[in-house]
Amino acid sequence: MTDADVPGRDGITALPARNIPAPEALSAEARHILAMARPAAPARPLLDDADGWRRYIAARNAELGSFLAPLIPTLAADVTVLRLGEATVYQAIPHEMAGPPGQTLLHMRGGGLLLGGGEENMRFEAAAMAHRTGRTIFAIDYPVPPDHPFPAALDQCLSAYRALLEEREPASLVISGASAGGNLACALLLRAKIADHPLPSGLILMSPEVDLTESGDSFHTLMGLDTRLTFRLTDFNRLYAGDADLFDPFVSPLFGDVSAFPTTFLQSGTRDLFLSNTVRMHRKLRAAGVRAELHIWDGMPHIGFGGMTMEDQEIYVEMKKFLSRCAA
């Protein structure tokens, strides 16, 4: 323990080790998920080991893809691959449309700004969002480090948005992002503002990774409780940023000028490592005069319980209500 870690100094609080029970009000499925053993995080390469990171990313994407591929047929959506500007996107059209005709989501996936790309992963991402929202989805398969550090992913997201603006009215568009995708969604709007592009009617942020400095309280208080995020993403963040400063607003949009952002839906849970990211962005938006809704679920880890619990379904119900309000 260093002097900086001494209890009572500079607000340091020492807590005894204790067991944390699952909230009694959770569904049985959600309680089961919280009780599951946390898998050990795969060893990560050193920051300057580019080949090691390429292998790490490929292995993690293949592992995730093999898990998700059998689930894609269970999602009521048709997926096609196309180009929007300079970006490869997966368009998903739900079998049953909800809400106003033509409302479209431009969606950015999660994965720590490194993971989640590739055919199976992106097909699932697009189909799942279409299935859950009842809207047409354009999910961007953005490029990642070490070969494509910042601002490569952001550039492609902006290119796709510009291409959509040529085909659709901004009022019919909503930007959405999960985790790392929330980072890109906010950074995209910051770039769009500077370029004087019209902004969409809404913004959906699911546990957004808007602060790559990881300075929020929940990075300390919830470490070990989150069943989805079991380690800090410090090395991911540094690899993504490349030569850029982590405080750069386009790298960490929490530090950007969010005035004039569209009405925003923010989602998190009381066991989400990114809870501080979410609540701080909500306060930032409110302080800037932006209409912002904050939805927090008790006991919920990062990005929900996997999509199959009653609590997950509540997220999608609230999201559909929000999308209908955006259209109105």
* pLDDT score for 37: 83
Q: How confident is the model at residue 170 (pLDDT cuts 50, 70, 90)?
A: very high
* pLDDT score for 321: 97
* pLDDT score for 187: 98
6 within domain boundaries? no
| pLDDT surpassing 90 at residue 214 | yes
171 within domain boundaries? yes
* pLDDT score for 309: 96
Mean pLDDT, residues 134-143: 98
49 within domain boundaries? no
36 within domain boundaries? no
43 within domain boundaries? no
83 within domain boundaries? yes
Mean pLDDT of the chain: 95
Mean pLDDT, residues 214-231: 95
7 within domain boundaries? no
| pLDDT surpassing 90 at residue 41 | no
Domain tally, the chain: 1
Least confident residue range of 6-15, 89-98, 252-261: 6-15
Q: Which domain holds residue 269?
A: 70-326
| pLDDT surpassing 60 at residue 239 | yes
* pLDDT score for 9: 67
| pLDDT surpassing 80 at residue 99 | no
Mean pLDDT, residues 209-231: 95
Q: Which 3-state string (H, E, C) describes the chain?
A: CCHHHCCCCCCCCCCCCCCCCCCCCCCHHHHHHHHCCCCCCCCCCCCCCHHHHHHHHHHHHHHHHHHHHHHHHHCCEEEEEEEECCEEEEEEEECCCCCCCCCEEEEECCCCCCCCCCHHHHHHHHHHHHHHHCCEEEEECCCCCCCCCCCHHHHHHHHHHHHHHHHCCHHHEEEEEECHHHHHHHHHHHHHHHCCCCCCCEEEEECCCCCCCCCCCHHHHCCCCCCCCCCCCHHHHHHHHCCCCCCCCCCCHHHCCCCCCCEEEEEEECCCCCHHHHHHHHHHHHHCCCCEEEEEECCCCCCCCCCCCHHHHHHHHHHHHHHHHHHC
* pLDDT score for 39: 77
* pLDDT score for 38: 80
Mean pLDDT, residues 97-122: 94
* pLDDT score for 252: 98
12 within domain boundaries? no
Mean pLDDT, residues 92-111: 93
CATH label of the domain that carries residue 167: 3.40.50.1820
* pLDDT score for 8: 60
| pLDDT surpassing 60 at residue 1 | no
Mean pLDDT, residues 46-50: 97
